[in-house]
Structure 1
Amino acid sequence: MLKRLLDLLLSPRHGSAKPRRQLQAELERVVEMVEPRLRLVTGYPRVLLRGMARTLDFAEQLTQDLPEVLELSWRGFTSDRRLGMFFSSPASLLDLLHTSSELDAFFARPGNGDVAFCLLIMQRSDNQRLGMVSQNGEVVAEVPQLVVSFDNHRLTLPSATLDEFVPRLAERGVERLTGVIARRLRDKEAQRVELESELLRVELKLKTLRAPGQLVVDAMADQGPALPDSPLALQSRFEAARTDLAARKAELTLDGKLREVRQILEHPSDYFSSRSVTLNLDRMGVLQPDDESGNGHPICFEEVLLGETPPVRRVVVPARVTRQAIRELEENFGTG
């Protein structure tokens, strides 16, 4: 009877089909990465398991309807227009394949075979410029154009099959969300330190102003913005900083951190989102109207947004590469 009661209390009360043991194991990994001392709070699993179930379900949903797998090869530049948009040349693709330590380690293990499915991660840049519009071979106008480019390429999660790759992709989503939680807590701790420093600065300057004949010097001026010279303004600044500090300290107690973790786990889409994007680009990366002119070609990818400060936006595309494709690139574009 007692075991049955504990099972009911610890269950996430959510529609997830995940076994409770799996949810608890995933939760412990998150707690270990974010703040191991949360385990000191009585009943922390009961508080967090529902959110853990929602986060796992959310991460699995992110792996549905992925773009078509991108073939990373020399021939891919003629068969898939995305490759020519993502990489400036076959040589730049080869450079990525050579510098990917994860891919190198994967192919170094003979049991993995000759094919790797992986996640290609890039940074997208949109730049405005003036471009020429010509008519009958003559330039007739300058018009604003949006040029889209992709750089900072990385390859991660190499897997022998798609069936292995997709679950790892969901796990990666949970890891990134966990990183968002940890970073938010670190930012709050940094804000606490800054507020304590500001309080000390204001207090020292107030004491100096109230001491007749004393020279007013802010000895900690390099640790924050300039302070006002008016005692009234300083007192107001002191009270505001003290209020903010009290709120930040409350958020950094174990109970406060538990509330922060619960909030993010129960609402993952507020902090981690993914959307399918299709851009109509010409061969120079210039965004074209979605019309029948034929000047552009649709380029499809997933764009991930992490709710950090500032927000982090990345382009992600599932990709496939073979040992043979790497050899062909080396033969034709290697530097010897």
Structure 2
Amino acid sequence: MGILSWLKRRRQAPEADAAIDSAQVREGLERVVRLSPQLRLAAGYERRLLHGVRVSLRYLDELIGELPPACEASGKAWSTDAWIHAFFAAPDEVAQALSRSEDLRRFFHEHPGADEAFAVLGMAMEERRTLGAQQHGEMVRTDAVRATLSFSDYQVRMCGLTETELRREIELRMLEQLALEGISRMAGSAARRDALEQERALLKTRLQLLERQGVGLGEVVGGEATVDAAGRERLKAQIAENARHLAKLGMRSEALQQELEQIGEVLDNPAAHMDVTVRHVRLDAMNVIVDDSSPTPAHTIDLRVARIPALSGRLRAFALVRFARRDLLPVPSVLDQASRPLI
């Protein structure tokens, strides 16, 4: 769902704010403040953040609600589930990939009574174009350009006992990510402030040197004094401009209030900083993208792709999965498989 569709839905359903209860908002506020505890010292921090937390939770609630149910991640499901078949090249790769997750192992260790874990499977997704055989009507072209999708860098970082619990935690983690975006903006302002202060100190030093030169040599060398005077005016103008930039950033005593405002602005506009898009693709058994008119047997799947500007705009495909404890491979087996040569 993009920012335009979210804004449209927001206008059409203003009463949806009531769906986010006060307990959820309070929990969300605590998660945000936990990232930067000094915010509690800022005047009116609760009043400033509560609205943004409520807006963000509503947006994230819609995003998470649109995710499809968790699918079974197993070698058995590889032959019947179109998503699992697309994500992994072979049945035995499913358990191998998920068993490498330390977070998943820790979850089963901390929950000895759990027979399965609900988790978020994140993956790098790459689209490649190659030449290959492709059927066009009754003819087969061997030089057709084909696009294939491949998935790698499987990561499982978040687990839950139930799907409901998992979805709730995803929502809160996304809220934290939005708060981090606001904090990163403040960090950028602090770095800019330091650069401006260093620049101002340098300009003042240069001005002092020029003024000393004018006083000491102006009456002796004549024309040089005119050049120095022009240089002084130029430097004074640069210092004034530098001071204006510093004023926009505010005094250091105002830094905490600015951080509060930066975070609040991001939380007030979550769709501008985080988005989950849906990509509809039709894939054959070899993960070749085919169109609807192709006679090749294929399945259409909806891929969820997350975009987070704070992470350099990286795109990661992800899906909710169920993974059984019985499929968790022992550590030596996982390491064995990982060390095998690829060819």
TM-score bucket (shorter structure): 0.7 to 0.9
How far did residue 257 of structure 1 move? 2.1
Give CA-to-partner distance per residue, 1:208-232, whole Å, 9 cap, x none: 78887xxxxxxxxxxxxxxxxx969
2:28 touches 2:172 (CA, 8 Å); kept in 1?
no
**How has the CA–CA distance of structure 1 residues 85 and 205 changed in structure 2, closer, same or farther, with 3 Å as cutoff?**
farther
Alpha-carbon distance change, 57 to 250 in structure 1, aligned in 2, over 3 angstroms: farther
Q: CA deviation at 1:119?
A: 0.8
Matched, 1:121 2:110: no
* Structure-1 residue corresponding to 2:302: 300
Q: Does 1:40 align with 2:41?
A: yes
Q: In the aligned structure 2, how far is the partner of 1:71 from the partner of 1:150?
A: 17
Query: Residues 28-67 of structure 1: matches in 2 within 5 Å?
Result: 28-33=30-35, 35-67=36-68
Separation in 1, partners of 2:16, 2:66 = 24
Amino acid of the residue matched to residue 94 of structure 2?
A: L
Measured after TM superposition, the shift of residue 185 of structure 1 is 2.1
Q: For 1:233 and 1:309, locate their aligned partners in 2 and report how far apart those are by CA, in whole Å.
A: 40
Q: Counterpart of 2:317?
A: 315
Change (3 A) 1:88 1:322: same
Length-normalised TM-score, structure 1 = 0.74
Query: Could you tell me how far apart the structure 1 residues matched to 2:151 and 2:235 are?
Result: 49
Q: Is the 8 A contact 2:125 2:149 kept in 1?
A: yes
Cα distance in 2 for partners of 1:64, 1:245 equals 44
Cα 1:204–1:72 change in 2 (3 A) is: farther
- Provide the rounded CA distance (Å) in 1 between the counterparts of 2:84 and 2:24: 39
Counterpart position of 2:291:
289
Using a 3 Å threshold, how does the CA distance of structure 1 residues 233 and 301 change in structure 2: closer, same or farther? farther
Runs (5+) with no aligned partner, structure 2: 1-14, 214-229
**Partner Cα distance (1:211, 1:91) in 2:** 79
Structure 2 CA distance, aligned partners of 1:99 and 1:169? 21
What SS does the corresponding residue of 1:63 show, helix, strand or coil?
helix
Deviation at 1:103, TM superposition (A): 1.0
Identity of aligned residues (%): 24
Do the aligned partners of 1:14 and 1:53 also contact (CA within 8 Å) in 2?
no
Question: Per the alignment, do residues 322 and 45 of structure 1 end up closer, same or farther by CA in structure 2, a change over 3 Å counting?
Answer: same
Q: Name the structure 1 match of 2:266.
A: 264
Does the Cα contact within 8 Å between 1:119 and 1:157 map onto a contact in 2? yes
**Residue 187 (structure 1) aligned with residue 188 (structure 2):** yes
Give the direction of change, closer, same or farther, for the CA distance of 1:38–1:334 in structure 2 (3 Å limit): closer
Between the aligned partners of 2:312 and 2:90, the Cα distance in structure 1 is: 31
Pair 208,287 (structure 1): closer, same or farther in 2 beyond 3 Å = farther
Shift of 1:167: 1.8
**Which piece of structure 1 moves more, 238-247 or 255-264?**
238-247
* Structure 1 pair 140–175 and aligned structure 2 pair: CA distance change class (3 A): same
CA distance in 2, matches of 1:237, 1:283: 64
Q: Cα–Cα, structure 1 residues 130 and 119, in superposed 2: closer, same or farther, change >3 Å?
A: closer
Which has the higher Rg, Structure 1 or Structure 2? 2
Deviation at 1:200, TM superposition (A): 4.8
Q: Residues 198 and 123 of structure 1: is their aligned pair in 2 closer, same or farther, counting only changes over 3 Å?
A: farther
Q: Write the deviation string for residues 263-289 of structure 1: whole angstroms up to 9, x where unpaired.
A: 122221221222332212334433322
* Corresponding pairs, count: 305
Tell me the SS of whatever aligns to 2:18.
Answer: coil
For residue 265 of structure 1, give the secondary structure of its aligned residue in structure 2.
Answer: helix
* Structure 1 residue 156, shift from structure 2 partner: 2.7
Deviations 1:164-190 (A, max 9, x none): 222222222222222222222223223
Query: Structure 2 length as normaliser, TM-score?
Result: 0.72
TM-fit CA distance, 1:238: 5.8
Q: Is residue 121–residue 153 contact of structure 1 (8 Å, CA) maintained in 2?
A: yes
| Larger proportion of helix | 2
Checking the alignment, whether the CA contact within 8 Å between 1:306 and 1:313 is kept in structure 2 is yes
Alpha-carbon RMSD? 3.8
Bigger mean CA deviation after superposition, 61-70 or 237-246: 237-246
| C-alpha contact 2:124 2:151 (8 A) present in aligned 1 | yes
- Which residues of 2 match residues 1-336 of structure 1 at below 5 A? 15-20=17-22, 22-33=24-35, 35-127=36-128, 129-133=129-133, 139=141, 141=143, 143=145, 145-200=146-201, 241-249=242-250, 253-294=255-296, 296-308=298-310, 310-326=312-328, 335=337
- Corresponding residue SS for 1:16: helix
For 1:67, what is the secondary structure of its paired residue? Answer: coil
- Structure 2 CA distance, aligned partners of 1:92 and 1:208? 70
Cα distance, 1:121–1:233 mapped onto 2, change above 3 Å: farther
